[in-house]
């Protein structure tokens, strides 16, 4: 299930802060790739895909980014606007991403190397796979968790 994760925050106002996360601790995968999106005009929609197997941790070190996650049955909105908060996204969730503030930076740590074959870029295909039980993981259809 997707969930918001609050990272440890080390430091103080005088010297600033440091946050971190580690493979197989805050996230249940080995981080194999990190990418980031930036200089995205406010209001532009990105994402619009799901992944067959890829797991992700997304965070916004500066600015504000909105994620709308869809498990094939219901949608939930998550706001990333704190440098010490991340959103864990399990396999099989459609995501729509909106940059809400100029200069926002979106960072993503993921469980595998880039592979276009893992992407589902058609919502109809996503819905068909979801309804067929392709991601029939435990709790998949429980209400999407937050906080
Ligand atoms: P995409 O994941 O669709 O970005 P977003 O969800 O932010 O809109 O990727 C955009 C393009 O970048 C697409 O052509 C694939 C390419 N890409 C890579 O080549 N390597 C990567 O690691 C990623 C994430 C994307």
* pLDDT per residue as tens digits for the range 72-106: 999 999 999 999 999 999 999 999 999 999 999 99
Mutate to test the pocket of ligand 1, among 47, 66, 69 (most ligand atoms within 8 A of CB): 47
φ, ψ at 54 (rounded to 5°): -65, 135
| Domains with residue ranges and CATH for the chain | 3-131 (2.60.120.10)
User: What's the pLDDT at 35?
Assistant: 98
pTM, entire model: 0.93
Active centre residues (catalytic): 49
- For residue 49, the ligand 1 atom closest to its alpha carbon is 6
φ, ψ at 125 (rounded to 5°): -65, -40
């Amino acid at each position: 299930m997707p969930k918001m994760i609050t990272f440890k925050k080390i430091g103080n106002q005088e010297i600033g802060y440091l946050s971190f996360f580690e493979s197989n601790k805050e996230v249940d995968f080995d981080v194999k790739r990190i990418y980031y999106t930036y200089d995205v005009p406010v209001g532009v929609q990105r994402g619009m895909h799901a992944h067959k197997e890829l797991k992700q941790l997304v965070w916004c070190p500066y600015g504000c980014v909105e994620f709308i996650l869809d498990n094939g049955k219901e949608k939930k909105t998550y706001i990333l606007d704190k440098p010490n908060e991340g959103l864990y996204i399990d396999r099989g969730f459609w995501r729509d991403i909106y940059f809400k503030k100029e200069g926002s930076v979106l960072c993503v740590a993921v469980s595998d190397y880039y592979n276009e074959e893992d992407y589902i870029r058609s919502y109809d295909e996503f819905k068909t796979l979801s309804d067929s039980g392709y991601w029939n993981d435990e709790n998949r259809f429980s209400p999407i968790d937050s906080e």
